[in-house]
Amino acid sequence: MAMSKEEVQEMIVNVGYLQELLNLVFSDVCDSYEVLNNYDEDIRYSLSLNYLNMSHQSYLEFKRVYIQGELGHYEIEPFFRDYEHYRIQLKEVITNKDSNTSWLNSAMDKLTESKNSVDDFLGNSLKTNMK
């Protein structure tokens, strides 16, 4: 069944908002990762957790719009899994004051791939629906 003009417009707005939220989530995740290398002492853990908290707020809004806007798609699902995996790995590093961050590095690489894939998907979705 074809969508009405209003439904298409609402979807375009939601997809655009998802893209904005995705970038906010990822920006704060990157900062949570980078401060671990850029600062010494325990302050780096506090800073990292603050950035993780900011990313999680945007992540929850991303998830809310995704669910309420009925924008479910298999292309986006891996992002949720990879974000949660990164969050768990970062908490492990902070909780254990772990100097071996290979698991966190791997989680960050996977999340970066997922973010890029979702960003491409959302961008293509916008292009398709704006025609």
Distance CA 83, CA 32 (A): 13
Instruction: For residue 123, give every residue at least 6 positions away whose Cβ sits within 8 Å of its Cβ, in sequence order, or none.
Output: 19
**CATH for 5-126, options being 3.40.50, 1.10.1760, 2.40.160, 1.20.120:** 1.20.120
- The predicted pLDDT at position 82 comes to 98
Compute CA distances 105 → 11, 78, 90, whole Å: 35, 17, 9
Tokens of 85: 């995996």
pLDDT digits (tens, 9 = 90+) for 62-109: 999 999 988 888 999 999 999 999 999 999 999 998 888 899 999 999
Closest C-alpha among 36, 13, 33 to residue 25: 33
Both tokens of 71, joined, read 């924008």
| Average pLDDT, rounded, for the chain | 92
Per-residue pLDDT band for 131 (boundaries 50, 70, 90) equals low
